[in-house]
A and B are shown apart, each in its own frame.
Chain A
Amino acid sequence: MSLSDSLQKLASYRVNNSRASQDVFKKGEALLKAGKAPRDEEGWAFLEQLALAAIDLDRLEVAEICLQKLADKFPGSPRVDVLTGIRMEATQGITPVLEYYNELLLQDPTNAAAWKRRISVLRRARSVDKATEELIEYLDTFYTDPEGWLELADIYVSNRQYTSALQALSHALVLNPQNPFTFVQFAETAYSASDLPLALKMFLLAIDMIERDLDSPESTPPTGLAFRTWWGIKLSTRHLLEGGPSSPSNTSAPKNLKALDVLATERILSAYKGKELEYQRRLVEGWVVRK
């Protein structure tokens, strides 16, 4: 792969927020060694990305080089300060790291990244209550950060506090009304909370968002998030047809459950085409017809 291809690939990881540490490290370190690290604006983002990947892979000597270059260029930058903290997390105990982030927050209470690292360290130290408390406090100030709400929902879900998780997710939905992923996550959490009508409603909103731009949705097999969503629709309608529990949120189930169930079955099976998928299709057929 040529250097410019490597650079392009690394840039696309950044745009997609994809961590891909091993690949980033391999390509990035080669560029750094060859002295071909970009020198423009993009170069700083590149160094930050490579530093993170190096910390992930425990190649701290490479992380140090990147950090040094960044610190020289941007002394006192909150972003570089936080990166230094992440580097500390790799080798130092919880207490000095927490103190370090406290220090940063005293200097600048609006350093959102330092807040979030602090919360993540607390969570890892299994001070979940403290982490939850701080996250709620953080969201008081940074209400518009959907990632913060998703993290809060994640904490609640891992403790099986589904109702609180749904409340956190509803904030993320308001902030991200165009993002079908958040709707699917909400639907799956509602399902876990045994609120099947609410789950189905959200799955249907998501599928509408994903498939409304298809020319002929009924003849195109679902892919990606649509496929997962159809499975969710199928599972919810099946249980509702069996007479599932009532809805804690008083959501009513749609009238056309039977038709939805048939449609979901068709959509799921349409994805299992070809010889390679014959075995899977047989299992799935066994599953969908099961009572």
Chain B
Amino acid sequence: MAPGATISSTSYYKLYFHAAKHPHQPVNGVLLGQQVGNVVKVEDVIPLLHHWTSLSPMMEIGLDLAGQHADESGLKVVGYYQARTNVSDVGLGPVGEKILQRLQEKFKDAFGLVIDGEDFGTDKAALIPWIYIAESSQWKVAPGSEAFTPGSAYQLASIDLPTSAKDYVKQGLHQAFGDFDDHLEDVSIDWLRNRTCIPFEA
């Protein structure tokens, strides 16, 4: 059985800020963490792109550097996230699958999180987990009870994260958030850590 996952506050805030900053564009990035027993603990997120989110040259470089950063932090790249332009589209799409295939080479249970635009901005987690089903060689929405609700194998570090993330966005904290695309425009943007954006004890 595929492992479940828990998403740390920092990780949740980061992917939330990333999507909130670019409501009209697709965004993507990677999840960093480690596997403990049958749970993948996602401890950090590195935002990659918001211009052209295909498996582009910049994606390749971003993934390499994110991998090096994970090594330095004693973590692994355990998954991938994306939000698509079309809010109701929660599929991985050909590009998402391609990127996950690549992550699987280094972490067998790599999984995807697609931000659900319909639920984004509510008190729900608004994340749909995708896992690889070896028997049918297909990527599918993780089976079982609705993810990020009580009893699911997928949990947030704290149940009120969506609400507090929404409040932080209201305060405009996400405006300073930067991804690898931003870093390629302005080298001083700290896309690997985003420390100015996550100043609180997350």
| A residues adjacent to B (C-beta < 8 A) | 19, 21-22, 56, 123-124, 126, 154, 157-160, 185, 188-189, 191-192, 199, 221, 223-225, 227-228, 231-232, 235-236, 271-272, 276-277, 279-280, 283-284, 286-287, 290
Contact = CB atoms under 8 A, between A and B. Distances in A.
B24 interface: yes
Given A158-B95, A188-B58, A227 B64 contact: no
Given A56-B23, A160-B95, A227-B185, A236 B68 contact: no
B192 A158 contact: no
A225 B86 CA distance: 27
B94 A283 contact: no
Interface centre among B54, B61, B187, B190 (most CB of A within 10 A): B187
B57 A231 contact: yes
Nearest to A284: B65
Contacts of B86: 123-124, 126
Q: Is chain A's interface secondary structure helix, strand, loop, or mixed overall?
A: helix
Contact of A228 (B55, B64, B89, B185): B185
Given A126-B89, A158-B93, A235 B57 contact: yes
Contacts, number: 81
Given A224-B185, A225-B185, A286-B68, A235 B60 contact: yes
Contacts of A271: 187
Interface in B3-29: 23-24
Given A22-B172, A223-B186, 12 more contacts: A19-B24, A56-B24, A126-B86, A157-B54, A160-B55, A191-B56, A227-B187, A232-B57, A232-B58, A235-B61, A283-B69, A283-B72
Contacts of A19: 24
Given A188-B52, A191-B56, A228-B184, A159 B61 contact: no
A227 B185 CA distance: 7
Contacts of B23: 21, 56
B158 interface: no
A228 to B, nearest CB: 4
Interface residue tally on B, bucketed by range:
20 to 34
A280 B186 CA distance: 13
B20 to A, nearest CB: 10
B56 A188 contact: yes
A277 B188 contact: yes
Interface string B122-151: 000000000000000000000000000000
B98 interface: yes
Contact of A158 (B65, B94, B186, B188): B94
B52 A276 contact: no
A192 B56 contact: yes
A142 B54 CA distance: 27
Nearest to A19: B24
27 contacts: A126-B86, A126-B89, A159-B94, A160-B98, A185-B52, A188-B56, A188-B57, A188-B58, A191-B57, A192-B54, A192-B55, A192-B57, A221-B187, A223-B187, A224-B185, A224-B186, A227-B185, A231-B61, A231-B184, A235-B61, A276-B188, A277-B187, A280-B192, A283-B69, A287-B61, A287-B65, A290-B64
